[in-house]
Chain A
Amino acid sequence: MQKIYAYAAAGACLFLSACASVPSSAELDKLTAAIIKASFRDEALVKVDRLTQDDANRECSAADVAGKPIDEALRASIEAANMKAIKWPSDGKFIGDWREGEKIAQSGRGLTWTDDATQGNGGNCYNCHKIDQKEISYGTLGPSLHNYGKLRGITDPNSATAKPIVEYTWGKIWNAKAYNACSNMPRAGHAGILNEAQVRHVVGLLLDPKSPVNQ
């Protein structure tokens, strides 16, 4: 009864026989929010506050439901806000150890309700991207990153000419929504999936000329 009351309060008529037609889009949004609220619970380290959407997630979800691209002005403001939120390397060092980066790219662990919070998180990179071509078990949801640095002409990642690409790569991994508001890519640094040292290693995996990615 309590649940039915909650839905009715959301302005929807799912359970009221008096309701003759499907609710309006705005009412359906409200009803969906009420149903989400009533349908999930905390489990282990995962709390229901994960269901709270920020501007990017809310607006991009709405655009997906409508089957249209996000409004231009909204897109620009979401990207600007996410760009502003990027944390750049505290010591100015962008390039870490590609060997560590490869391990992080391979690992899909972390932040599910069955994960151990003390084990550290992976980057899930191979789930969606081809990276080192020796790894044949890669996903295709994202573009291939094989030869990522080489294709961009990076011979010395510490050089002044490499700087724009190096910064973009850091920024994209830290917060993909800064460059594409509705990107499918997680915001690894921004969301606390990877820490600063881990992001540095993944940047190294992509940009170090010695990394197998660029061989």
Chain B
Amino acid sequence: MRPVLPLAVALLLAAASLGAWAQKTAADGIAEYRAMLADGNPADLFEAKGEGLWKQARGPKNASLEKCDLGKGPGVIKGAFVELPRYFADTQRVQDMESRLLTCMETLQGFNAAEIAKTAFGRGEQVNMTALTAYISAESRGMSFNLPNNTVQEKTMYEVGKRLFFARSGTHDFSCSSCHGEDSKRIRLQDLPNLTKNPGAGSGFGAWPAYRVSNGQMWSMQLRLNDCYRQQRFPYPLFGSDATIALGMYLGVNGKGGESIAPAIKR
């Protein structure tokens, strides 16, 4: 993915002046810098691309995704994102946005979902997957998270997600909770949302997919979770795996009522 050049220049200038600010204003400075960047969020470009992909006939079956059921009926996009993950009777699984898109890409378009899941982020169909998530999430911008969480399967996945959130392991004994279990904490200068409750859960979960200025990339929630696990020194979470969906369920339910700002812009 190519960073937008004027933005990169703006970032350098902002970063340079950031160093000059005193420590007490660092957080304010970062907020100001984010607000400045949000004026031209490159996520717009991914949304537009995603919309095109949604409507375009593609894959071995030469079909579009316009009949894809994201939980609110075939083809309904508006409001779908703020109710995911949720249980789908046809697959008998709780699915998040990405794993549900894989189902639609396989059943409607004839793609091989397992192959796409195995493809590295930023390659092949994964690039299209990211654009689709930007488009679908943008259609719920400003709406409140309201995962149904009313079937046994969903409630079970929430409980599994809670256990995953607190699971300490790896060389560093880290869990998600090591960094995201308390209010008002930081890693270096980076503020950490408390993901066990609102407002942290809503604003943290509700920001992804997001455009990351630091590497000029659009990241889906699957990639966000993947990189958390990398930094936790855990092994590699499989794309669309039940562990990632259960965590999404835990975060999304905790964030109920929070406003979706996805696709957001991040440091």
Which residues of the other chain, A, contact B159 by a CB distance below 8 angstroms? Answer: 22-23, 28
Q: How many residues of A contact B (CB 8 A)?
A: 57
Set of chain A residues within 8 Å of B231, measured between Cβ atoms: 112
CB distance from A110 to the nearest CB of B (A): 8
B266 at the interface (CB under 8 A from A): no
B68 to chain A, nearest CB (A): 22
Of A35, A114, A141, which one neighbours B230 at CB under 8 angstroms? Answer: A114
Nearest CB in chain B to that of A56: its residue:
B173
A118 within 8 A of B: no
Q: Which residues of A lie under 8 Å from residue B185 when comparing CB positions?
A: 139-141
Interface string of B181-208 (1 = CB under 8 A from A): 1101111110010000000000000000
Once the chains bind, are A111 and B172 in contact (CB under 8 Å)? yes
Report how far A138 CA is from B234 CA in the complex, Å: 24
State A38–B245 Cα separation when bound (angstroms).
Answer: 13
Q: Is A74 an interface residue (CB 8 A)?
A: no
Asked if A14 contacts B156 (CB within 8 A), the reply is yes
Within B214-235, the residues touching A (CB, 8 Å) are 230-231, 233-235
A42 pairs with B236, CB closer than 8 A? yes
A57 contacts B by Cβ under 8 Å:
yes
B163 near A29 with CB under 8 A, answer yes
Complex Cα distance, B189 from A137, in Å, reads 5
> Cα distance A65–B176 when bound, in Å?
12
A46: interface (CB < 8 Å): yes
Q: Which residue from B26, B181, B235 sits with its C-beta under 8 Å from A42?
A: B235
Distance in Å from the Cβ of A13 to the closest Cβ of chain B?
Answer: 8
A163 to B166, CA, bound (A): 36
The verdict on A64 contacting B235 (CB below 8 Å), with A22-B159, A31-B160, A35-B246 known, is no
A167-181 contact mask (Cβ, 8 Å, vs B): 1 or 0:
000000000010000
- Nearest chain B residue, comparing its CB with the CB of A22: B155
**B78 at the A/B interface (Cβ < 8 Å)?**
no
Contacts of A31 in B (CB 8 A): 156, 160
A50: which of B153, B187, B234 is its contact (CB, 8 Å)? B234
Question: Across the interface, which residues of B come within 8 angstroms of A14, CB to CB?
Answer: 153, 156-157
- In the complex, whether A117 has a CB less than 8 A from a CB of chain B is no
A19 to B163, CA, bound (A): 21
What is the size, in residues, of chain B's interface with A at 8 Å between Cβ atoms? Answer: 49
Q: How far is the CB of B89 from chain A (nearest CB, A)?
A: 9
Query: Which residue of A has the minimal Cβ distance to B246?
Result: A35
Smallest CB–CB gap between B194 and chain A, Å? 12
Question: Within the assembled complex, what's the spacing in Å between the Cα atoms of A79 and B94?
Answer: 39
Nearest B residue to A31, CB-CB: B160
B76 in the interface (beta carbon within 8 A) = no
Known: A19-B152, A31-B156. A191 touches B171 (CB 8 A): yes
| Residues of chain B lying within 8 A (CB to CB) of residue A23 | 156, 159
The answer to whether B243 touches A39, judged by C-beta atoms less than 8 angstroms apart, is yes
The distance from the CB of A52 to the nearest CB of chain B, in whole angstroms, is: 7
A61 is contacted by which of B175, B179, B188, B235 (Cβ under 8 Å)?
B175
Cβ of B167 within 8 Å of any chain A Cβ, yes or no, is yes
Asked whether A43 lies within 8 Å of B156 as measured between CB atoms, the reply is no
Partner of A191, one of B173, B184, B243: B173
Residues on A with C-beta less than 8 A from B230 are 112-114
The reply to whether B163 and A39 form a contact with Cβ atoms under 8 Å apart is no
Known pairs A40-B243, A53-B167, A191-B172; list 14 more (Cβ under 8 Å): A15-B153, A28-B163, A35-B242, A39-B241, A46-B234, A46-B236, A50-B171, A56-B168, A56-B173, A113-B230, A128-B187, A184-B173, A191-B171, A191-B173
**Smallest CB-CB A-B distances: 9 pairs:** A39-B243, A39-B241, A43-B236, A64-B166, A186-B172, A57-B168, A32-B163, A136-B23, A40-B235
| B-to-A contact residues, CB < 8 Å | 23, 26, 92-93, 152-153, 155-157, 159-160, 162-164, 166-175, 177-179, 181-182, 184-189, 192, 230-231, 233-238, 241-244, 246
> What are 28 A-B contacts defined by CB distance under 8 Å?
A14-B156, A15-B92, A20-B152, A23-B159, A28-B160, A32-B246, A35-B242, A40-B236, A40-B238, A40-B243, A41-B235, A43-B235, A51-B234, A51-B235, A52-B169, A53-B168, A56-B173, A60-B168, A64-B177, A111-B172, A112-B231, A139-B188, A140-B184, A141-B178, A184-B178, A191-B171, A191-B172, A192-B171
